[in-house]
Structure 1
Amino acid sequence: MCGLFGFHARSSLALAGRLDAATDLLAHRGPDGRGTFLAHGRGGNWQVGLGHRRLSMIDLAGSAQPMRSHDGRYTIVYNGEIYNYLELRDELAAMGHRFVTNGDTEVLIEAWRAWGEACLSRFNGMFAFLLWDSETDRLFAARDPFGKKPLFVAKGEGFHAFASEIEPLRKFPGIDDRLDTDSLREFLSYRYVPGPATFFRGIAKVPPGTFMVMEGAKVRTGRYFTTPFSRTSPDIDDFDEAVRLFGDKLDEAVRLRLRSDAPFGAFLSGGLDSSTIVALMSRHMSKPVATYSVGFDVPGSSELPYARQVAEAFGTDHHELAVGLGDFTSVWQEAVLRRGAPVSEPSDLPVLLLSKMAYRSVKMVLTGEGADELLGGYPKHRAEPWVARYQRLVPGGLHDLLVAPAARALPYAARRLKTVAGVAGIRDRQARMVAWFGGANSDQAAALYAGPRQARALDPLPFAADGAASALKRMLHFDQTSWLPDNLLERGDRMMMAGSIEGRMPFMDVGLAELAARFPDAFLTGAPKGKRVLRTLAAKLLPRDIIERRKVGFRVPVEQWFRTGLSAELRDLLQSGDATVRRVCNGAEIDRLLGEHLESRHNHEKVLWALANLEQFFRIFRPSLGEAAPAQDREADYLLASTF
């Protein structure tokens, strides 16, 4: 787990002096080592610069980066872990490949030498890397299938630049860092910016499961992975067999992710997902698992007692962090800076605080992220398959006339029922996918933002699941191609790496996803609380109370804090005279939402959190607020127009 920076540029550009400074802006991602590499192509017209900050996990004394192959042909900077590197190393050694280190970085280089682009599908891991081939004068960039590791790209006049985070690219000369107004509009609806866009016109995300090849002025792009839920039909009809297969595959995923030469542990919430991971870790470790849990000092908002119960059941070396309002606000701006965007979820901040605490004793943790998006664990996954039936029975006009007003009038506490009643009436599937977990609904978004009309077409991939076997599988495809890489996995990377700690996610194993896609819907959402296969497996591993307790998620008490200790800061962010958010959004609508929340008439915490973080983003990054950019001027549109 590291931070990388690199550029491929015309030799006439004086960029060499920028390499060190850009690399060191990623020091928090790699406090254990640094290195740079600069070379010119054989024709002398192009140059490549590579920078690396290392968080050493495997082969601690060796495997420094940038790493050159033993023959000097290839040079790589790499962020992530190839969990099956030992198996690949044995296979490559049998083919005659030579190794001089004991880490996975050299395995990646030799896998590229052996198989070229096809090596990407052989890797079981999380990765983003830049690999320079001095014989062909090509720079190859790639990102892992689910997007667990970040890779941003910016295109300037005569160059491409890449980085693990946005900040080094913003400080690099010749990159357009003006505000992208389309991303602003999308953020209000999604609560995050859907890829490949960012908030900056000239900076984009390399999409998960894709690669880019730069050779002179030519750029080639391609996609090597799409989620199996969009292309796989169920073929496993024996439930007991499904549980056995899933248990074996998850156990293998955990075992492979325990490969580390540095101390490690687990983030434990006390919920089903992370508790199952800790139970499986305990099978493979000869000493107690180090577990880390975070909670809040607001009654009814802490899962620490549940986490403590699991820790006691498995005899872990348990550590707890109780977060108060002051702790929360102390890292708010740091979280926005590291994310390079408004913070989508309040839970980012306690994850950052917990990472800083865990770094005192470990350098890597396993987490439970991705289980809900893999196995249908949210209420929306059980509700979406019923929407088509509801819409056949209730005409759109009747819904708008009776059901929607009744839903809006529901009590303050009926958050989930209000969401289901509102979303069920949305006839457009693309809009409905966004609305289930979105921020402002269509009416609120229209009232909040009256800026330029959207010019950019959205990435069609999250909505292009016509090969999926059911409405549930189409939703899981959306979750795995949008919600996860652009929100939850982004949180996991940015907040943990801000604390200089690596997060590994066994549920985000490609083989596990391939298996789950073969299950019928009833094996996923067929239990009252969803994730039927996992619940059945976990019943053999965990205390009964953990299995049966109601899913509450990792909820930060911002709803209460906005009305109490955070109210003054919220008013400053949203109502001060110099608030930029009031320049780009409708101030009267902001005031209405804020007033209704503070008076406990409606729960607007999602929208208010989005708006408050938008203002934090403006105060930290101060992007220029220009007119809407023509499509050809934006890096995200350049990527969407490619061959992905």
Structure 2
Amino acid sequence: MCGLTGWVSTHATGAGAAHLRAMIHAIRHRGPDESGEHILYAGDATPEVALGHCRLSIIDVGGGQQPMGDDDSGTWLIYNGELYNFVELREQLVALGYRFNGASDTEVVLQAYRCWGTDCVTRFRGMFALALWDGPGQRMFFARDPFGKKPLFFLRQGATLLFGSEIKSLLLFPGAPTAVNENALCDYFLYRYVPGPQTLYAGIEKLPPGSWATWQDGALQIETYYRPPDRRPRPATPQPADPVAGFLSHLEDAVAVRMVSDVPFGAFLSGGLDSSAIVALMARHSARPVQTYSVGFAEARYSELDHARRVAKHIGADHHELVLSADDLMQHLPALVKYRDAPVSETADIPIYLLSLKAGESVKMVLTGEGSDELLGGYPKHAFERYARAYQWLPPLLRSHLIAPLVRALPFRFRRIKTALANLDLADDRQRLPRWFGALSHDERDALLDLPCADERNDGATQFACSPGNSVLRRILYFDQTSWLPDNLLERGDRMTMAASIEARMPFLDERLAAYVSALPDRYRLRGHTGKWLLRQAMHELLPASIIKRPKIGFRVPVDLWFRGPMRDYLYDHLTSADSRTRHYYHRPRLDAVLSEHVDGRQNHEKLLWTMLNLELWHRHCLESAAP
């Protein structure tokens, strides 16, 4: 696991080793063990190429230094991630006559490109982002893993292309712009994160998940090599004789290959079904007790520590706990916005970061349960979405004049029903699907913002590009897998663990497992209002029944209470004071109403207020600090 950064240009840029070292230093938290650099300066008809790398050593600790070059081919590689099938690929390459000097997966990536060219990434099983200089072809090759676990950002400045694992390194290059992307800002209030390939920085883009790119003669070409299989209707293939046993076999294999490590590792354990399943399977393949790490809160109804303890005791784990408060959130939130180079869209970022620091005292890598809900249909919205078309058949006047006012008047404890009916009223998928976890509809956003937001639908957007004949469940899962997951949850997981200099691996986001699940009928994921049916069945002999039958709680931080209490002044100061950088974005009467409704307990606006607070923090701690 590492961080990478650099540039490629058709001409001499005037930047040199000092600039590259500064860019590497900016992301040193991603790889504190060692760093390296390599610059090929521009000559006659020869581009300038700068490659910088910082390393967190997980595999082949004594070897695998980067940038890694191959003298025979003039190829140079910097690589962030892990290949879980690198031993298998190495054997194939040796049989084809390729020689290896070490035991790292980095060298396998390098030789795989020499052998198979750009198609090499379709053979990789793992998480990765890479930048490779192809000397003979005089081009740069980039690639990102299928689900987008590892990040890669681009900034084009004329004939120069900057790239890096985090935006902060790009902003250190001479002349890098620091302006707000207003289109992305408008989207931010619809999603609570910025959907790719955009970012909040004008001119800086993400390489989409499952994509590769080539840069040659000053032109960048991007191609997609992977789409999640839920994009299309279920294939007409025979069903396995025992789907549950087949699923368990695939999941156990996904866990086992991610336990390959030359350094100590453990697992995050929330006490929910997903992480509990991972640690139960880890225990099957570990000769020692699994190191597990859990976080909770003093507010008992928000804490799952009791459930995590029960699972840890059940599997005989060596268990560690952390309890957080509102002071922890206020103390660390500005730093985490800087680590993320973006607003912290989920309150869970802070607990994950502090838990990562705790885990980093004893391990360098953890397995997590991320991705299970997006693969197996575990959110309440996956059940509610089935009723969208039926609800919209009701007369509009009945929905707007009778049902809507009654729903708004319901107390907060009915929040799921309130959210469901508000979302089901939106006929356009491009509004409804983001809003299940979003802050606002288009109308609500426009009532709040004093900004010229264009109401664009972008019919070609990846996250909505499903087959017309797809099932309702597969359609919403595909949105989750291509937007909510890579642009929010995986971005959170990468930044918060890397900020603490540890690596996170996600067995549920294994392409072979995803293909197996997607080939099954929908009923194996969702039955009635019970999600993740397949996982629940597979865990019957591995976990206590109380864990398997628990309804999904979600990792909630009690900011709804904290915004009314210990964080109230903090919130008002950031959003309404003369020092606020963002208050001019809002219609003041609506801003005041949102604040007062929440503080007085009439409505719960915690998600919207969190969204607004973090936008303010991003302006203060990222945008302004990066300005020349």
Q: 2: CA distance between counterparts of 1:605 and 1:196?
A: 27
AA aligned to 1:267 is F
2:401 matches 1:415: no
Match of 1:115?
116
Match of 1:636?
none
Q: In the alignment, is the contact (CA less than 8 A) between 1:178 and 1:623 conserved in 2?
A: no
Q: In the alignment, is the contact (CA less than 8 A) between 1:179 and 1:623 conserved in 2?
A: no
Partner SS state of residue 531, structure 2: coil
Match of 1:104?
105
Deviation at 1:119, TM superposition (A): 1.0
Q: 1:210/1:445 Cα in 2 relative to 1: closer, same or farther (>3 Å)?
A: same
Match of 1:334?
335
Q: 2: CA distance between counterparts of 1:72 and 1:87?
A: 23
Deviation at 1:175, TM superposition (A): 2.6
AA aligned to 2:533 is R
Match of 2:500?
499
Match of 2:14?
14
Q: 1: CA distance between counterparts of 2:235 and 2:300?
A: 44
Q: 1:53/1:621 Cα in 2 relative to 1: closer, same or farther (>3 Å)?
A: same
Q: 2: CA distance between counterparts of 1:624 and 1:314?
A: 47
AA aligned to 2:68 is M
Q: 2: CA distance between counterparts of 1:207 and 1:517?
A: 21
Q: 1: CA distance between counterparts of 2:67 and 2:332?
A: 32
Deviation at 1:619, TM superposition (A): 1.0
Match of 1:438?
438
Q: In the alignment, is the contact (CA less than 8 A) between 1:82 and 1:126 conserved in 2?
A: yes
AA aligned to 2:248 is G
Q: 1: CA distance between counterparts of 2:140 and 2:397?
A: 55
2:487 matches 1:486: yes
Q: 2: CA distance between counterparts of 1:407 and 1:26?
A: 47
Q: In the alignment, is the contact (CA less than 8 A) between 2:265 and 2:366 conserved in 1?
A: yes
Match of 2:429?
429
Tell me whether 310-319 or 165-174 shows the greater mean CA deviation.
165-174
2:305 matches 1:304: yes
Q: 1: CA distance between counterparts of 2:461 and 2:142?
A: 22
2:585 matches 1:619: no
Q: 2: CA distance between counterparts of 1:304 and 1:100?
A: 47
Q: 2: CA distance between counterparts of 1:613 and 1:146?
A: 26
Offset from partner CA, 1:208-228 (integer Å, 9 cap, x none): 111111112232221101111
Q: In the alignment, is the contact (CA less than 8 A) between 1:239 and 1:523 conserved in 2?
A: no
What are the equivalent positions in structure 2 for 1:191-202 lying under 5 Å apart? 191-202=192-203
Q: In the alignment, is the contact (CA less than 8 A) between 1:52 and 1:77 conserved in 2?
A: yes
Q: In the alignment, is the contact (CA less than 8 A) between 1:62 and 1:102 conserved in 2?
A: yes
Offset from partner CA, 1:382-438 (integer Å, 9 cap, x none): 11112112223x133431222222211111321111001111111111111111110
Deviation at 1:613, TM superposition (A): 0.7
Match of 1:403?
403
Q: In the alignment, is the contact (CA less than 8 A) between 1:410 and 1:418 conserved in 2?
A: yes
Tell me whether 366-375 or 468-477 shows the greater mean CA deviation.
468-477
Q: Percent identity?
A: 46
Offset from partner CA, 1:544-588 (integer Å, 9 cap, x none): 110112221100010111111111101111111121221112222
Q: 2: CA distance between counterparts of 1:331 and 1:44?
A: 49
Partner SS state of residue 61, structure 2: coil
2:450 matches 1:450: yes
AA aligned to 2:293 is Y
Q: 1:625/1:291 Cα in 2 relative to 1: closer, same or farther (>3 Å)?
A: closer
Match of 2:461?
460
Deviation at 1:257, TM superposition (A): 0.3
2:250 matches 1:249: yes
Q: 2: CA distance between counterparts of 1:360 and 1:251?
A: 27
Q: 1: CA distance between counterparts of 2:87 and 2:469?
A: 35
Q: 1:308/1:499 Cα in 2 relative to 1: closer, same or farther (>3 Å)?
A: same
2:22 matches 1:27: no
Q: 1: CA distance between counterparts of 2:50 and 2:120?
A: 24
Q: 1: CA distance between counterparts of 2:291 and 2:183?
A: 44
Q: 1:539/1:531 Cα in 2 relative to 1: closer, same or farther (>3 Å)?
A: same
Q: 1: CA distance between counterparts of 2:409 and 2:386?
A: 25
Deviation at 1:467, TM superposition (A): 5.2
AA aligned to 2:221 is R
Tell me whether 6-15 or 38-47 shows the greater mean CA deviation.
38-47
Match of 2:60?
59
Q: 1: CA distance between counterparts of 2:129 and 2:404?
A: 45
* TM-score of the two chains, using structure 2 as the length reference: 0.97
Match of 1:571?
572
Partner SS state of residue 548, structure 2: helix
Q: In the alignment, is the contact (CA less than 8 A) between 2:247 and 2:516 conserved in 1?
A: yes
AA aligned to 2:428 is D
Q: 2: CA distance between counterparts of 1:457 and 1:469?
A: 20
What are the equivalent positions in structure 2 for 1:149-164 lying under 5 Å apart? 149-164=150-165
Q: 1:37/1:468 Cα in 2 relative to 1: closer, same or farther (>3 Å)?
A: farther
Q: 1:277/1:572 Cα in 2 relative to 1: closer, same or farther (>3 Å)?
A: same
AA aligned to 2:404 is A
What are the equivalent positions in structure 2 for 1:371-410 lying under 5 Å apart? 371-392=372-393, 394-410=394-410
Q: 1:308/1:468 Cα in 2 relative to 1: closer, same or farther (>3 Å)?
A: farther
Q: In the alignment, is the contact (CA less than 8 A) between 2:10 and 2:42 conserved in 1?
A: no
What are the equivalent positions in structure 2 for 1:359-370 lying under 5 Å apart? 359-370=360-371
Match of 2:601?
600
Q: 1: CA distance between counterparts of 2:285 and 2:190?
A: 43
Deviation at 1:493, TM superposition (A): 0.1
Partner SS state of residue 530, structure 2: coil
Q: 2: CA distance between counterparts of 1:273 and 1:622?
A: 36
Deviation at 1:72, TM superposition (A): 5.3
Q: In the alignment, is the contact (CA less than 8 A) between 2:12 and 2:41 conserved in 1?
A: no
Partner SS state of residue 580, structure 2: coil
Match of 2:589?
588
Q: In the alignment, is the contact (CA less than 8 A) between 1:175 and 1:202 conserved in 2?
A: no
2:132 matches 1:126: no
AA aligned to 1:565 is P
Match of 2:181?
180
Where does the alignment leave 5 or more consecutive residues of structure 2 unmatched?
Answer: none
Q: 1:623/1:197 Cα in 2 relative to 1: closer, same or farther (>3 Å)?
A: farther
Partner SS state of residue 6, structure 1: strand
AA aligned to 2:323 is A
Tell me whether 455-464 or 101-110 shows the greater mean CA deviation.
455-464
Q: In the alignment, is the contact (CA less than 8 A) between 1:176 and 1:203 conserved in 2?
A: no
Offset from partner CA, 1:360-387 (integer Å, 9 cap, x none): 1000000000000001000000111121
Q: In the alignment, is the contact (CA less than 8 A) between 1:289 and 1:316 conserved in 2?
A: yes
Q: 1:307/1:608 Cα in 2 relative to 1: closer, same or farther (>3 Å)?
A: same
Deviation at 1:202, TM superposition (A): 1.4
Tell me whether 520-529 or 288-297 shows the greater mean CA deviation.
520-529
AA aligned to 1:431 is Q
AA aligned to 1:28 is H
Q: 2: CA distance between counterparts of 1:385 and 1:113?
A: 48
Partner SS state of residue 300, structure 2: coil
Q: In the alignment, is the contact (CA less than 8 A) between 1:157 and 1:174 conserved in 2?
A: no
Q: 1: CA distance between counterparts of 2:43 and 2:95?
A: 32
Tell me whether 532-541 or 51-60 shows the greater mean CA deviation.
532-541
* TM-score of the two chains, using structure 1 as the length reference: 0.94
AA aligned to 2:11 is S
Deviation at 1:623, TM superposition (A): 5.2
Deviation at 1:42, TM superposition (A): 6.7
AA aligned to 2:431 is A
Deviation at 1:278, TM superposition (A): 0.3
Q: 2: CA distance between counterparts of 1:613 and 1:489?
A: 18
Match of 1:222?
223
Match of 2:286?
285
What are the equivalent positions in structure 2 for 1:462-477 lying under 5 Å apart? 462-466=463-467, 469-477=470-478
Q: 1: CA distance between counterparts of 2:626 and 2:207?
A: 24
Deviation at 1:329, TM superposition (A): 1.8
Match of 1:530?
531
* Equivalences, count: 625
AA aligned to 1:440 is L
Q: 2: CA distance between counterparts of 1:127 and 1:437?
A: 27
Partner SS state of residue 300, structure 1: helix
